[in-house]
Amino acid sequence: AVADELGRQVHGLAVRLRPTALDDVGLAAALRQLISDWSARTRVPVDLEMVALEPERLPPEVETVLYRIAQEALTNIAKHAGASHVSVVVIRQDEAARVVVEDDGHGFDPERAGLGRLGLVGMRERVALLGGELDVESAIGSGTTIVAHLPLRREAGGADHAEIG
């Protein structure tokens, strides 16, 4: 019984690290489902815009971080923002990908929010591990905007860099 329970817990942790939906249906569909479920649960409408995510998929580690940033931002909005509307934009542009999550909630002081807030700390760490940047724009009474910018790296010497002359 203990081994079965441990197995279930390990499986749950693995799914939370890289949601199976990313592998099964890709980032765009996984985000649509995440946002649909979140909006139904919180009764807060969400505008979702995705630009240039298909037909070529992003690197798996980038997809995971983009998904997790959106997920954590939505979790924070549900817990703290009191928002009546949310916008999520995911863009692939040039050699970078970006997710922007914006709400019209209460806002907060970003200088003080990092203290004791594992959500923001976790977002910063995930983005930094891929060489990206996370910006948090907020002020009390004016909503919040989270912007994660991730470089799309390609291995040097790979076929993607071969030039045909």
pLDDT computed for residue 24 by the predictor: 73
Three-point CA angle 128, 131, 137, nearest 5° = 55
Three-class secondary structure of residue 18 per DSSP: coil
Reported pTM: 0.79
Mean pLDDT of the chain: 83
Q: What is the DSSP letter of 37?
A: H
Task: State both tokens at 14.
Answer: 């693995």
Per-residue pLDDT tens digits for 39-58: 999 999 999 999 988 788 88
Cα separation, 160 vs 128, in Å, equals 25
Region 54-67 average pLDDT: 89
